Amino acid sequence: MSFRYLGNKTKLSEWIVGEISKIIPVGSKVADPMCGTASVSLALALAGYSVTAADALAFPVIHAKCRLLIKQPPAFKAFGGYNKVINWLQSIPPKEGYFFNEFGDAGSPANGRAPRLYFSAFNAARIDGIRESIANLAKSETINELEHSLLLHSLILSTNKVANISGTYGYFLKELSKNAQQAISFEPLKFETTPGNHSVLRASIEEHASKLRAEAVYLDPPYTKRQYAGNYHILETLALEDEPIAEGDGGLRPWKEQASDFCYRRFAAKAFRNTLERLNTPHVFISYSQDGQVNEDELLSIFSDFGRVTIHQQSYNRYRSNNRAKDGNLLERLYHIHRY
């Protein structure tokens, strides 16, 4: 399953962990408090580190729980095993509910606008049916917390594959794409048996930076002005299992209280400084792109106030969320601050 996500570090995770391992002994505790899809968290865990992953949004926490804490297929005793749960997900009938009305191409949004083409009518109704079925299992305590997270994780990944979007959920395509016309489907996921002891929590970096206890912290803040809470509102709704008011033409859930200062050019530099002031770890590693909101000179000026700074660089293909995005490569920079 793929993760369609701004700043996803899957292709860079091996390089990032390789640089960290040159400084931090394997077996140490490393925190990834802005974990996103948890690609770096998983790479750290596979390398032998004990990882604390966190994020301000709910759906990245779902991903992190499943990638770090579930090391083998859960029992799902009520179903007779994990593979039978996959078959159950596949068999759930459609229901014309919230997703059908707000996000399906045959829906009737509550605010009176034309249908939003995030999904085909069939897939939107299937998502409604699956959401309700998962919620009922959790309410009846038929499944435990991690099994509940795994079902939501699977739904999010499968939903991504049939979403009628160019890369994020900020808006939908004008016509249903080939992928969006395929029926949503489920397949067994791979589980990684990692050696460390891991933990996952939902909290913003502002809330828990001072509480982190680790040998190193890896930070992957937003680079651009696009807010994750707005651009991934549908995934957040799947993770939270709610039915918020779908606002405007794009049907966004209320998200502004979750806006990150790292996305605003006028606030990003201060956000870096405030975060570093709260951290108590001897080593901080920070991923940041060359076209981020804060330029390299200003970053170095800030980081140098907190310790000795070393920069590592890696070229990678630019993320394209639409057909008008610029082509070419970017330099990903990994800053290492050895704190005073």
Secondary structure letter of residue 279 according to DSSP: -
Q: Tally the domains of the chain.
A: 2
Are residues 233 and 293 both part of a single domain?
no
CA–CA gap between residue 103 and residue 107 (Å, rounded)? 7
Residues 279 and 329 in one domain: yes
Model confidence, pTM: 0.93
Amino acid making up residue 29: K
Render pLDDT for 219-278 as a digit per residue (tens, 0 to 9).
Answer: 999 988 999 999 999 999 999 999 999 999 999 999 999 999 999 999 999 999 999 999
Neighbours of 247 (CB within 10 A): 14
What is the per-residue pLDDT for 8?
79
| CB contact at 8 A, 127 and 152 | no
Q: Which domain holds residue 245?
A: 73-190+229-253
Give the tens place of pLDDT for each residue, 136-195: 999 999 999 999 999 999 999 999 999 999 989 999 999 999 999 999 999 999 999 999
User: In whole angstroms, what is the distance from residue 37 CA to residue 52 CA?
Assistant: 14
On whether both 167 and 200 belong to a single domain, the answer is no
**Domain match, 162 and 241 both:** yes
200 and 150 assigned to the same domain: no
Rounded (10°) angle between helices 145-162 and 233-240: 150
